[in-house]
Amino acid sequence: MKKLFVHTFGCKVNIYESEVIKDIFLKEGYEIAKSASMADVIVINTCTVTEKADSKFLHLLKKVRSENPSAIIVSVGCFTQLESENEVLKADSDIILGVNNKYDVIEAIREFKGGKFISVPEGKELDYADHELRSFQDHTRAFLKVQDGCDNFCTYCTIKYARGNSRSRKRDSALSDVEYLSQKGFKEIILTGIDLGSYTDGEAYGLFELISDILKYEGFRLRISSVEPWCFDDRLIELFVKEKRICPHFHIPVQSASKRILKMMNRKYSIEVFDSLISKLAQREDVFIATDIIVGFPTEIDEEFEESVKYLESSKINFAHVFSYSDRPFAPSSKLKPKVSQNKIIQRSRILRKVSEAKLHEFYASQIGKEKEIIIEKIVKQADGKFTCSGLSGDYIPVSFETETPYKKGDLAGTTYNNIY
């Protein structure tokens, strides 16, 4: 029996799409290999959000080609969509597919006769590519993708160009998967999309309505992936704050606290509007709020960077994913000058990450002694017959605890948080 190995870079949408690819191969009779070296087919699902993401992919591609020269290597996703002529990509991949046809991988393998098979169709006005997903092998939590693409034009970002226009899954299709996943016993479902807040299925049906309908099904908690700040209205804020089955872990990207930099990024809010949103969401008890901040955007001066540092220190944000700016193909910001030096970007990133880590540990410390519900991801049986279980709480704290109860992976268990994992 032939074996498949899938390596995934990037976001939760990519994780979901890799699971779809696995499901497609399983239906064709493949087994899932434990490593790339044991596989007949290797699929690499790429990310191109930063220059670092590109480098990681190209390094892995050369590595797997060297370690398993007889395998068919299939590269798919955002990097391949934008960089299909990259020399390393073409040299070490047998098959290259883009974002919009990555699910056609079986047909591509059938057509592949040696040499190279490259198919990266342009995609500007696309329909939502709906695929039933019924496996999630080895996952303790299930992903539910309901949206793809983006209609925003943030000047630093190429994902709009890789993914195409914003498009949404039909509600009936999404809710059918929710029903199936709840019946399969998943205790957490992660709702995801490239620009999740833009979800729509008709004029009067948006993200608020979809979440409300999802919560009509019982037996699981719902985690919401990143939502842009301009997508919140009062109804959605109230739902996030009051609905206890929504995990109290929100990711709202800010990118900068500088008014001028936000404008140059083409972000659709002021820092005052953003902070008002965060303050409203922080009304929820024990909520964890994360954000993204880009360091070293072209023309950013020291005083503007300091605005982001001071905002992170003083705001109700608990953690910031700090991204060092890098020029991306097709991104308008790549043409902006003057550039911030690489040394200064590294220095600023270290400063901001130090602040972010301090805020994270401050939040962890504030939660000691509180009751948490944990999705169990790892179980170790001790010599005395007890079990050490570890996993993630609803507010995304890594937790471990000892118990005599023989839990299974994926179970939801209550415990008192008393350690930093």
Residue 299 pLDDT > 70, yes or no? yes
Confidence of residue 352 (pLDDT cuts 50, 70, 90): very high
Residue 126 pLDDT > 60, yes or no? no
**Beta pairing partners, 190:** 143, 223
d(CA 383, CA 401): 15
**What is the pLDDT, as a whole number, of residue 225?**
97
Confidence of residue 125 (pLDDT cuts 50, 70, 90): low
Buried b (16+ CB within 10 A) or exposed e, 366-384: ebeeeebbbbbeebeeeee
Q: Which residues contact 378 (CB under 8 A, 6 or more apart)?
A: 389, 390, 391, 409
Structure-token pair, residue 246 = 């929504």
Residue 129 pLDDT > 90, yes or no? no
What are the tens digits of pLDDT across the range 323-340?
Answer: 999 999 899 999 999 999
Residue 414 pLDDT > 70, yes or no? yes
Residue 84 pLDDT > 90, yes or no? no
Lowest-confidence range among 75-89, 133-147, 290-304? 133-147
Give the pLDDT mean for 202-211: 96
- 330 vs 291, more confident: 291
CA geometry: angle at 182 spanning 179 and 184, to 5°?
110
- Most confident region among 22-26, 47-51, 268-272 by mean pLDDT: 268-272
Percent of the chain topping pLDDT 70: 95
Confidence of residue 139 (pLDDT cuts 50, 70, 90): confident
What are the tens digits of pLDDT across the range 207-235?
Answer: 999 999 999 999 999 999 999 999 999 99
Residue 348 three-state SS: helix
**What is the pLDDT, as a whole number, of residue 127?**
57
Q: Please give the helix or strand (H or E) that residue 44 lies within, else none.
A: strand 41-46
d(CA 261, CA 358): 25
Confidence of residue 185 (pLDDT cuts 50, 70, 90): very high
Q: Please give the helix or strand (H or E) that residue 14 lies within, else none.
A: helix 12-27
SS (H, E, C) 265-317: HCCCCCHHHHHHHHHHHCCCCCCEEEEEEEECCCCCCHHHHHHHHHHHHHCCC
What are the tens digits of pLDDT across the range 269-278?
Answer: 999 999 999 9
Residue 64 pLDDT > 90, yes or no? yes
Residue 360 pLDDT > 70, yes or no? yes
CB atoms within 10 A of CB 279: 12
Residue in 116, 186, 101, 135 with CA at minimum distance from that of residue 30 = 135
CATH class of 3-119: alpha beta
- 203 vs 115, more confident: 203
CA geometry: angle at 139 spanning 133 and 145, to 5°?
40
What are the tens digits of pLDDT across the range 382-400?
Answer: 988 899 999 999 999 999 9
Q: Which residues contact 149 (CB under 8 A, 6 or more apart)?
A: 126, 160, 163, 164, 165, 166, 167, 194, 195
Domain spans, the chain: 3-119, 371-416
Confidence of residue 116 (pLDDT cuts 50, 70, 90): confident
Structure-token pair, residue 161 = 């160009």
Structure-token pair, residue 411 = 């179970």
What are the tens digits of pLDDT across the range 401-411?
Answer: 999 999 999 99
Buried b (16+ CB within 10 A) or exposed e, 45-55: bbbbbbeebbe
Q: What are phi and psi of 148, to 5 degrees?
A: -140, 160
Most distant CA atoms of the chain, gap in Å: 64
